[in-house]
Amino acid sequence: MALQSDLEVCGKAGGMAEALTLVESQKPDLMVIDLKLREGSGLELIKQIKARFPNIKMLVSSMYEEQLFAERVLRAGASGYINKQESTEQVVEAVRQILNGKVYLSNTMTEHMLYQLAVGPQEGAPDAVGSLSDRELQVFELFGQGLGTRQIAERLNLSIKTIETYRATIKQKLNLNTSRELVRRAVQWVLEER
């Protein structure tokens, strides 16, 4: 984007606190956000930016599966989702589209969302991981990264009991019987998403 005369990169941050400080000082028109941050959650960052700086537009650029995250990021307040593997030209197109007040998604995701809107939810087994709330998905991912209940509680500033409640809900939604099955499924999911 540095070669685009009408676009200027005004900063780069690796974590949520650093990003919020940078936004406060730079007041960008648009932020490109990765869901995976060194510190904090990309989804939580989107929600905080939307609440504190409602005029800043956001594009998510991530390696995570678009079908699982595109709707989540739109609900959180972003205006688009693009896979990190897309070309620079495609990213610039997405940025321009969002700056012009539009939403950006891949053609495949746009078709999927329009189909869901037209025909409604489909019968049969839904994508189980997709049924998790944003916080449940965050806890699930942290289990998949090898963190234990206490570590997750500390990282998210929640009580151990709250994390245990999330763990029970996740097991129920994913139809898993034991915590070991949950961790195995979470690790597998994290490895597939990388």
Give residue-wise pLDDT tens across range 103-150.
999 888 888 788 877 876 554 444 678 888 889 999 998 998 899 999
Pick the CATH number of 129-193 from 1.10.357.10, 2.20.28.120, 1.10.10.10, 1.10.287.990: 1.10.10.10
Give me the percent of the chain exceeding a pLDDT of 90.
46
Pick the CATH number of 16-119 from 3.40.50.2300, 3.40.50.1100, 3.40.50.1460, 3.30.930.10: 3.40.50.2300
Q: Quick one: pLDDT at residue 116? A: 74
Mean pLDDT of 154-159: 90
Predicted confidence (pLDDT) per residue in 9-53, tens digit: 888 988 889 999 999 999 999 999 998 888 878 889 999 999 999
> CA–CA separation, 158 vs 181, rounded Å?
23
CA-closest candidate to residue 72, choices 98, 47, 38: 47
pTM higher than 0.75: no
Three-state secondary-structure class, residue 30:
strand
What residue ranges of the chain are covered by domains with CATH 3.40.50.2300? 16-119
N-term to C-term CA, the chain:
25
Could you tell me where the DSSP H helices lie in the chain?
Answer: 16-26, 42-52, 66-76, 88-99, 107-119, 134-144, 149-156, 160-173, 179-193
Cα–Cα distance for residue pair 194/4, rounded to 1 Å: 30
Q: What is the mean pLDDT of residues 148-167?
A: 92
Average pLDDT over residues 47-62: 94
Domain with CATH 1.10.10.10 in the chain: 129-193
